[in-house]
Amino acid sequence: MRRLVILGSTGSIGVQALEVVAAGDEHEVVALSADHRWEELIAHESSAEQARAAWDGEVLSGPEALAQLISGAEADLVCNAIVGSAGLAATVVALSEGIDLALANKESLVVGGELVIELAAATGARLLPVDSEHSALYQLIASEKGQAPGTIERLTLTASGGPFRGRSRDQLASVTVEEALNHPTWEMGGKISIDSATLMNKGLEVIEAHQLFGTEYSAIDVVVHPQSIIHSMISLSDGSSLAHMGYPDMRVPIAYALHWPERATVDLKPLDLEQLGSLTFEAVDNDAFPCLGLALAAGREGGTAPCVLNAANEVAVAAFLDHRCSFLQIASVIEATLDAVDIEQSYSFETLIESDRAAREAATEQLLAFS
């Protein structure tokens, strides 16, 4: 039995992690955390049956609570399914304690970057990505371990294209929150659904891949693949390309991360290629979806730029969800914030907290200027 902590247990990933755990008998859930819908968790009325069954402990709250929860749980594995840069502190605590981390919170890697990777290396904690594309890449890269450096030449991340694939910039001017939340292939929390509609999600994922696998930005490609069957691909020096395939269901990468190095049994129908008929691919429309380019530029700039990008995006997405800005203004807020805030090339966790704060302030000012 592995002692497991699930952070963000009332969210889309958190609930599915509880489902994966309930389907097997390899994990004991020793602590859960939640922000929204926490009352349900305490009232033992969480939407996840398993939360009710698993929970029989004390309740902590306040800013120090997460650190206390992780340190006190004597966990073998922490699943971080918190949304946004609010998840970075939990990542840092888990890795500092040398606890293996199943990481859904991609913002931890976007914001914390090299510091997070160095921390994991220093304590020997293992970082297991939950993001489907990165879980795919992790598996593909593991299959080539032991090959000479340079054997893996390129990484390709697929993007569904989101609900607005095929629309021009003009056609995006008046899209609504409801339309943006309606993702064609994945069911996810609100913030990542909007990120998928703007393609910022893919931008954050390229930065995540760069950090996780140490791959240069020039060797990471993004291709739109509306069916979301191929999750990622690696291209090798001998002309081979290896792809990871499966129906879009987050229980698969969650199960991989929670059960590593074993394979779990997940109750899914086998991939039926005849029924799928065809898989299609197209280029990203960078004019209609400028957020991917903004993220790539921030990633290449490095230092605190990804932190500033992420904070501005969080502020802009929250404003869009709250009907305080339009869909196209999300990218404008991010671009203006990156122009306004000083980027530091060398940084500490303290610098990141300060950059995050400055970026949120600048992004909020931008929003006021628009209204």
Encoded one letter per residue, x for contact with ligand NAD by CB under 6 A and - for no contact, window 240-269 reads: ----------x-------------------
Q: Which amino acid does the sequence have at 74?
A: E
Q: Judged by CB under 6 A, which stretch of 10-18, 152-160, 170-178, 274-282 contacts ligand NAD?
A: 10-18
81 binds ligand NAD (CB under 6 A): yes
- Give me the residues that bind Mg ion (CB under 5 A), please: 131-133
14 binds ligand NAD (CB under 6 A): yes
> Rounded to the nearest whole angstrom, what is the least distance from the CB of residue 226 to ligand NAD in the complex?
17
Q: Using CB distances below 5 to 8 A depending on partner kind, what does residue 290 bind out of Mg ion, ligand NAD, none? A: none
Cis preceding linkage at 270, omega within 30 = no
Nearest Cα to Cα of residue 352 among 128, 89, 42: 89
Q: Is residue 212 within 8 Å of residue 134, measured between CB atoms? A: yes
35 binds ligand NAD (CB under 6 A): yes
> Rounded to the nearest whole angstrom, what is the least distance from the CB of residue 14 to ligand NAD in the complex?
5
Q: Judged by CB under 6 A, which stretch of 31-39, 47-55, 165-173, 333-341 contacts ligand NAD?
A: 31-39
Residues 164-223 that bind ligand NAD (CB under 6 A): 186, 188-192
Q: Which residue has the tokens 């005849």?
A: 274
What span, in angstroms and rounded, lies between the C-alpha atoms of 215 and 21? 32
303 binds ligand NAD (CB under 6 A): no
107 binds ligand NAD (CB under 6 A): yes
Question: What tokens were used for 71?
Answer: 């340190």
> Rounded to the nearest whole angstrom, what is the least distance from the CB of residue 202 to Mg ion in the complex?
8
Q: Is residue 93 within 8 Å of residue 65, measured between CB atoms? A: no
Interface residue with ligand NAD among 83, 99, 172, 197 (CB under 6 A) is: 83
The answer to whether the Cα torsion of 56, 58, 60, 64 is positive or negative is negative
Q: Judged by CB under 6 A, which stretch of 68-76, 80-88, 174-182, 224-232 contacts ligand NAD?
A: 80-88
104 binds ligand NAD (CB under 6 A): yes
Q: Judged by CB under 6 A, which stretch of 29-37, 209-217, 284-292, 305-313 contacts ligand NAD?
A: 29-37
What span, in angstroms and rounded, lies between the C-alpha atoms of 124 and 126? 6
| DSSP secondary structure letters along 104-153 | --HHHHHHHHHHHHHHHHHHT--EEE-SHHHHHHHHHHHTTTTSPTTSEE
Nearest Cα to Cα of residue 260 among 52, 63, 76, 108: 76
What span, in angstroms and rounded, lies between the C-alpha atoms of 258 and 244? 18
What span, in angstroms and rounded, lies between the C-alpha atoms of 75 and 347? 30
Which of 36, 44 has the CB closer to ligand NAD?
36
Nearest Cα to Cα of residue 235 among 303, 306, 151: 151
> Rounded to the nearest whole angstrom, what is the least distance from the CB of residue 131 to Mg ion in the complex?
4
> Rounded to the nearest whole angstrom, what is the least distance from the CB of residue 154 to Mg ion in the complex?
18
> Rounded to the nearest whole angstrom, what is the least distance from the CB of residue 232 to ligand NAD in the complex?
13
82 binds ligand NAD (CB under 6 A): yes
Which of 250, 296 has the CB closer to ligand NAD?
250
* Tally of CA atoms within 13 A in the half-sphere of 160 that contains its CB: 21
Q: Which residues bind ligand NAD (CB under 6 A)?
A: 8-14, 34-36, 81-83, 86, 104-107, 131, 186, 188-192, 250
